[in-house]
Structure 1
Amino acid sequence: MPPPPIAPDGPGQVPYGYPGTTPAYGYPGPQAPYAPYPAGPGYAWPGGQAPPSNGMGTASLVLGIISAVGFVMWPIAFVLGVLALIFGGIGRGKAGRGEATNPGVALAGMICGAAGIVLVLGLVALVISVDG
């Protein structure tokens, strides 16, 4: 059987297992039972979207958890709780605009940050009431 004709753009990619060629990857030779996976879309194509920036939501969750767990270090926990609320708000805004894909993580960070602030305020109130 003769080979297929060459396209006007050039020969293109030789199909997997075509006689007289070696595959670029995988098992050598045409005895491999499966064709190679197709190449995925690249990030350099014009009009492509940028990858989501989920850093604010993730930072909010991390700071909120540290604030809620470490509330006995009340000055640090209070600042971290406030930062978790701020970063969570920014992360939720990014998710609303479609720039991020983790609105739930940002919301969880805001909740943990608020819980850390409430625990700090409760600890301070307890210390003041016992000390006074």
Structure 2
Amino acid sequence: MSAANPQPGPYDPNQYGAPQPPVQPPTQPPGQPQYYPGAGYPAAPPVYPGAAGAAGMPMQQSNGMGTAALVCGIVGLVCGITYFLWFFAIILGILAIIFGAIGKGKVGRGEAGNAGSATAGLVCGIIGMVVPAIYLMALDAALDSIF
């Protein structure tokens, strides 16, 4: 501040008054978690090198074959319902059955965890192959009755 300008400037360190001392956290009884003002959760306990789980998280089991079976089965089922894509339905149905069987084998050995997607892919692959077969048998019967 200057004598000519009694108002504090925007960069004047004393414009807000003297600095206040920091707020001390309240003391808790021994054995209780320490809570600080403004913090919603207590501090995490320390992790010691020999503690359980200190080596890291266990790897999650994945079943890529089960997921591949599910995708191939669903796409094959849609192609099977669409009459003119029956050829793709048969190919995708065969792949879904193979991938589903491999995925269920991995689940049985304990190498994978999602048995549901492998089973669903296997079932969708079978249905995706049966629907075009029914279409082709109906077409063959219709052609036999005409000629």
TM-score normalised by length of structure 2: 0.60
For these two proteins, the number of residue pairs brought into alignment is 102
After superposing on structure 2, the runs of 4+ consecutive aligned residues of structure 1 that deviate more than 2 Å are 36-39, 48-51
Could you say what secondary structure the match of 2:113 adopts? coil
> Which of structures 1 and 2 has the bigger CA Rg?
2
Question: What are the ranges of 5 or more consecutive residues in structure 2 without an aligned counterpart?
Answer: 1-23, 26-34, 48-52
The runs of 5 or more residues in structure 1 that have no matched partner are 1-17, 20-28
| Aligned residue number for residue 34 of structure 1 | 41
Equivalent runs, 1:1-132 vs 2, <5 Å: 30-31=36-37, 32-36=39-43, 41=53, 45=55, 49-71=58-80, 72=83, 73-132=85-144
Equivalent position SS for 1:99: coil
Q: Given that residues 62 and 114 in structure 2 are in contact (C-alpha distance below 8 angstroms), is that contact kept between their aligned partners in structure 1?
A: no
CA deviation string 1:74-123 (max 9, x = no partner): 11100000000000001001111111111121111111100011101111
The residue aligned with 2:28 is none
Percent of residue pairs bearing the same amino acid type = 42
Mapped partners of 2:95, 2:123: distance in 1: 12
Counterpart-to-counterpart distance in 1, 2:109 and 2:62: 12
